[in-house]
């Protein structure tokens, strides 16, 4: 994933960035700042993240951070977008690898992938940050709706599901609820709550099945 994709995907174009990375070195610097933010979030959580911590972890000056980001919220939102992009890119790969041939097995592949990324992807918990209650912006809500729409499109193309407003809404519901449940289930990466993961899997099958039956 190119770091410039992050700036292109930011709400309102690249308004969260003070300067877009137009050269390879600038892109690498921005990637390093996001990697540093991810590491700090994994260590202490996003609530305590500061731009000074990002600079220190990245081995950069605070001026370098402010060259790209106006505040800590913009750092977190950019990291969340990067995580969302990586999840979307790996979803199709996960479907191919799993040999999924039904929408239920497609759901399972997405759940397993998301759980694995919560366990292994630095800063992946940032994917849920940016909700209105977390940062004061509505960008997180738009991001989850976009993620649900992307998943719905893949599922329609793969498994021939109908294209209805109710089904599209259902994918958004599952994206929102899934990240809330899986973040809790994987809060302890070394000892994940697998029963909670399986409960969400069963709920997903039942809920989507009922929506499809009514379509």
Name the CATH superfamily for 3-74: Tetracycline Repressor, domain 2 (1.10.357.10)
Q: What is the pLDDT of residue 107?
A: 96
| Tens of pLDDT, residues 42-88 | 998 888 899 999 999 999 999 999 998 999 999 998 898 888 888 98
What are the residue boundaries of the structural domains of the chain, listed by start? 3-74, 80-214
Q: Where are the alpha helices (DSSP H) in the chain?
A: 3-9, 24-44, 51-58, 62-68, 72-98, 103-120, 132-135, 139-159, 165-185, 194-214
Please check whether residue 112 is in contact with residue 94, taking contact to mean a CB–CB distance below 8 angstroms.
Answer: yes
Q: What is the pLDDT of residue 19?
A: 52
Kindly give, in sequence order, each residue whose CB lies less than 8 Å from that of residue 103, ignoring residues fewer than 6 positions away: 155, 158, 159, 161, 208, 212
Percent of the chain surpassing pLDDT 90: 58
Identical fold between 3-74 and 80-214: yes
| Tens of pLDDT, residues 16-25 | 444 554 455 6
User: pTM for the whole thing?
Assistant: 0.79
Architecture of the domain whose range is 80-214: Orthogonal Bundle (1.10)
């Amino acid at each position: 994933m190119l770091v410039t994709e992050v700036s292109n995907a930011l709400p309102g174009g690249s308004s969260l960035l003070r300067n877009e990375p137009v050269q390879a070195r600038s892109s690498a610097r921005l990637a390093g700042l996001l990697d540093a933010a991810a590491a700090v979030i994994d260590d202490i959580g996003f609530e305590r993240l500061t731009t000074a911590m990002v600079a220190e972890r990245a081995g950069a000056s605070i001026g370098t951070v402010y060259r790209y980001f106006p505040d800590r919220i913009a750092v977190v939102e950019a990291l969340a977008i990067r995580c969302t992009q990586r999840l979307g890119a790996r979803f199709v790969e996960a479907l191919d690898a799993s040999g999924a041939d039904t929408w239920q097995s497609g759901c399972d592949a997405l759940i397993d992938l998301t759980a694995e990324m919560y366990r292994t992807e630095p800063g992946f918990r940032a994917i849920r940050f940016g909700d209105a209650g977390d940062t004061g912006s509505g960008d997180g809500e738009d991001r989850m709706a976009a993620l649900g729409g992307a998943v719905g499109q893949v599922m329609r193309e793969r498994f021939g599901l109908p294209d209805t407003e109710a089904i599209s809404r259902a994918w958004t519901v599952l994206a929102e609820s899934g990240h809330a449940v899986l973040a809790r289930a994987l809060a302890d990466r070394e000892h994940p709550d697998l029963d909670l993961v399986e409960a969400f899997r069963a709920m997903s099958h039942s809920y989507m099945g009922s929506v499809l039956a009514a379509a």
